[in-house]
A and B are shown apart, each in its own frame.
Chain A
Amino acid sequence: MAVSVLSNWAGEAPVAVFVAIGEGMRDRLERLFNDARFVRAASPRHAAIFLIAGRMRLEDREDLRRLHDQMPHPRVTLLWNAEVGEALGDAEVFTGSTLEVDIEASEAGRSDDAVRDRLEKLWQELASGERSSEPDLLHDEPPNSWEGIGPHGQGGQGMMGGTPYGRPMAMTSDDLRDGLALDLYTARFGPFLPMFPPGLLLEMTLQGDVIQSVKVVRPPLSQAGGNDVPAALLRLARLLDVLGLPVLGQRARLAAVGGATSVPLEKLSRAIHWAGATLAIPRGLGAVEGYGDTRTRFANLVSVANGFSPAMWPGLTRSAHLSSILPGLEWSEAMLVLNSFDDETLSTLAAIVEGADEDRDGHDHDSGHMHHDHGGPHDHDRHQGHGGRGSHLGNDYHGRHGGHA
């Protein structure tokens, strides 16, 4: 009885969807979630529906299966123009209009509506129990066999080593910033982390929340972003989300669609100004020669909301690369930098570098061709990660990193 009352209420809940965005689908997906009936979940743990939209690479399939299994029951998957073979089992398939460039806008709108209806129907069935929850795709086996020694399975000798609960413990190394030898955490972040560009898979080593080294494993999936006003507004919206302004981000998205409820752009840019968004981005953060720093890139996007046309960047002159831009940055700074580039620039910055086989100790800053020049005016205190060639001791960092208060 009580359970059926709960189910009735649950059926009314906004549909929580975790999205894996494939090729060319990002901007369309952002428009899809302009609707109050849907919530885009930040993590599969918060979602009931796994929406896989657009073409995926072959290598992404294993990650999709892992994400699927990370969702709590009850759960269901919907494939939208996705080609993933049998990787997701017998998941629901939705084939709307394909993503040819010249589809009619109204047809795309109709197809979006159809996807919304399908998502809502799936959730209704799931909530009422008509549809049973999907089982795991992967085998129910722990990642490694238990190798712990000793009463707590800490294993190894002294404080080091061992694989308690089937996974090794972190090991120490010197820090980029202050040289303290604390633990390194290495993991592959992405390819469908919500604050990452879709498809980008980075193998990062962190110490605390500062990035020590970055290796691009898979570049972002190409998006039909373009450089027009709606694309710039959507880019602005993503940065606003990362800055903790989802309300303004939502307004920017509505403005990008130009629907009836959208606010005038001047009001949006005034709100962004009063929110202190520009001031919140540290000066000189993520500077790339010819592209300014993150703050100027953000200001350029805001000026689009003020009626200026999106800025055209001159093109990368140096071999700048994510693996040289991100190390040395704190996590939230790195997320701001990642979201500040347009698609084309980002795909250049995230290109897979041939022969850049990093040594496994987590320091990739000796691969010389990844360096970029430190000549830019904003470039003074952010890129300690790769310039000093192993001289990253405390004093070194200390001297160059003037207080940015």
Chain B
Amino acid sequence: MMELIAALLLLLFLSVGFAGAALVDGMLPAFLAGQSRPSWRRPIADAARLLQTQRIRTEAPDALLWFLAPVLYLALAIIGLAVIPFGPGLVTIPSEVGIVVWGSCEALTIVAVFMFGWSANAPLPLIGAYRYVAIALPAMLLSMFVLIGAALPAESLGFTEIVEAQRRVWNVVRQPAGLILFLMLGLAISLRGPFDYADPADLAGGTTADVSGPMVLAWKIARLTMLVSVSAVTATAFLGGYLGPLLPGFVWLLLKTALILVVLVGAGNFFARMPPARMMSVIWTMLLPLSFLMLLAVGVELLLWG
């Protein structure tokens, strides 16, 4: 019964979250750029335009993978969200290893993005696909170290326990740098700003450069859904998830998710993107050791005061 309610809440969360994400993503950059009158109708109008545009295939593409790539991306986003509790016991997939499930969704995202870039049999998408793998692989490591740091105080890999363990103090206090590292992962798996190595401007849209009409729309939807999911996971792992006074847990999670989502969209527009080689070595030689230190700090804190 609880799972059914949770599944309905998941649908509600997805639709509200997606609508919010589309609005924020459509309006915030225009607002930041100083453009006049960004309208809320714009994302819907744009979707209608894409729906009425012809879908083009390229010369000898891998049509099946091309179709399955946005499907996989979207499904991974939804499954990742399904392990997040909306309240005590209110979770669609009650899993004791929620972190591992989410981690595999992250990892398979690389496959989805690669498939999308590969299938067109065109140079610019292909370069985007290969280069994304180089950045996303080490970014996965970052996120898993950070999530392990969140799991230590909970003595469990389940998200419900991780939330309950934050009743005394939120994880963001325990590992503030962990939150920042996890936000970077959020940028990487929703293909944004400084971590957007798959669809960047220097490749004329990268994996989307040879995709038109409805498939562009499907890809956008999958990206935005992943943005919602990763924001919800961040809110759960670091900001106490559904915990909060007065309002129901579901609403608290929604509010915290919205906050993270705005931060992610803003950050995606405010930091420069390095050439991939440089970024790869920054992740390995600076960010990864930082995540080790964060883990160490959490461990020491637990041993001394836990």
Contact = CB atoms under 8 A, between A and B. Distances in A.
Per the CB under 8 Å rule, do A and B touch in the complex? yes
Interface of A: 3, 6-14, 16, 34-36, 42-43, 45-46, 48, 70, 72-74, 127, 143, 164-167, 185, 187, 193-195, 206, 208-209, 241-247, 250-251, 254, 261-263, 271, 274-277, 279-280, 282, 330-333, 335-336, 403-405
B45 A280 contact: no
Contacts of B281: 403-405
23 contacts: A9-B41, A12-B48, A13-B45, A14-B46, A36-B35, A43-B205, A45-B209, A45-B210, A46-B205, A46-B208, A46-B216, A72-B54, A74-B54, A165-B60, A167-B60, A187-B123, A194-B204, A246-B33, A247-B29, A247-B33, A276-B272, A330-B277, A333-B275
B1 interface: no
Contacts of A7: 48, 52
B30 interface: yes
Interface stretch (B159-167, B194-202, B239-247): B194-202
Contacts of A10: 45, 48-49, 51-52
Identify which of A43, A193, A251 gathers the most chain B CB atoms within 10 Å of its CB. A43
B273 A195 contact: no
B53 to A, nearest CB: 5
B212 interface: yes
Contacts of B196: 244
Interface in B231-270: 269-270
B278 A193 contact: no
Contact of A241 (B38, B123, B201): B201
B275 A244 contact: no
Contact of B204 (A193, A209, A271): A193
A13 B35 CA distance: 16
Contact of A277 (B202, B203, B272, B282): B272
Contact of A73 (B33, B35, B54, B201): B54
Interface string B47-64: 111011111100110000
B297 interface: no
Contacts of B48: 6-10, 12-13
Nearest to B205: A42
Nearest to A262: B34
Nearest to A7: B52
A74 B53 contact: yes
A246 B29 contact: yes
A280 B278 contact: yes
B302 interface: no
Identify which of A16, A209, A263 gathers the most chain B CB atoms within 10 Å of its CB. A209
A42 B272 contact: no
Nearest to B34: A261
A44 to B, nearest CB: 9
A262 to B, nearest CB: 7
Contacts of A330: 275-277
